[in-house]
């Protein structure tokens, strides 16, 4: 009879630990993983939607206008006649939104 009581106590302790571990994983998903996935999706959408004539800001802080888009590279026009070629990934969605005042 006593072994049955001990077995029941051990089972409830294990279930409590499993519930606690599951809760921690769920909290981490909603506060860390999900927002990061959402931000990555927004950045990907932004980079796919850029076109000639848009004003952008690079990760390095360079403000420029898009001169042309060719695959994964973008040619930026800093001033009349001054152009640089950068990767699309070097354009910051966050800085561009702050600089242009859009959300």
What is the spatial distance between Cα 4 and Cα 8, in angstroms, rounded to a whole number?
6
Cβ-contact 69, 51 below 8 angstroms: yes
Per-residue pLDDT, 100? 80
Per-residue pLDDT, 24? 93
Per-residue pLDDT, 98? 86
Cβ-contact 88, 101 below 8 angstroms: no
Among the listed residues 84, 101, 88, the one whose alpha carbon sits nearest the alpha carbon of residue 45: 88
| Residue 10 predicted with pLDDT over 90 | no
Domain layout of the chain by residue ranges: 1-49, 52-103
Q: What percent of the chain has pLDDT over 90?
A: 64
Q: Give me the CATH topology for the region 52-103.
A: SH3 type barrels. (2.30.30)
Tens digit of each residue's pLDDT (9 = 90 or more) over 45-88: 999 999 999 999 999 999 999 999 998 999 999 999 899 999 99
Average pLDDT of the chain to the nearest whole number: 86
């Amino acid at each position: 009879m006593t072994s049955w009581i001990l077995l029941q106590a051990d089972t409830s302790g294990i279930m409590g630990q499993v519930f606690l571990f599951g809760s921690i994983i769920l909290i981490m998903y909603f506060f860390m993983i999900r927002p990061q996935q959402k931000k990555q999706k927004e950045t990907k959408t932004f980079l796919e939607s850029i076109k000639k004539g848009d004003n952008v800001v690079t990760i390095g802080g360079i403000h420029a206008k898009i001169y042309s888009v060719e695959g994964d590279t973008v040619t930026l026009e800093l001033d009349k006649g001054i152009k640089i070629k950068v990767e699309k990934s070097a354009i910051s969605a966050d800085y561009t939104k702050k600089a242009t005042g859009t959300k």
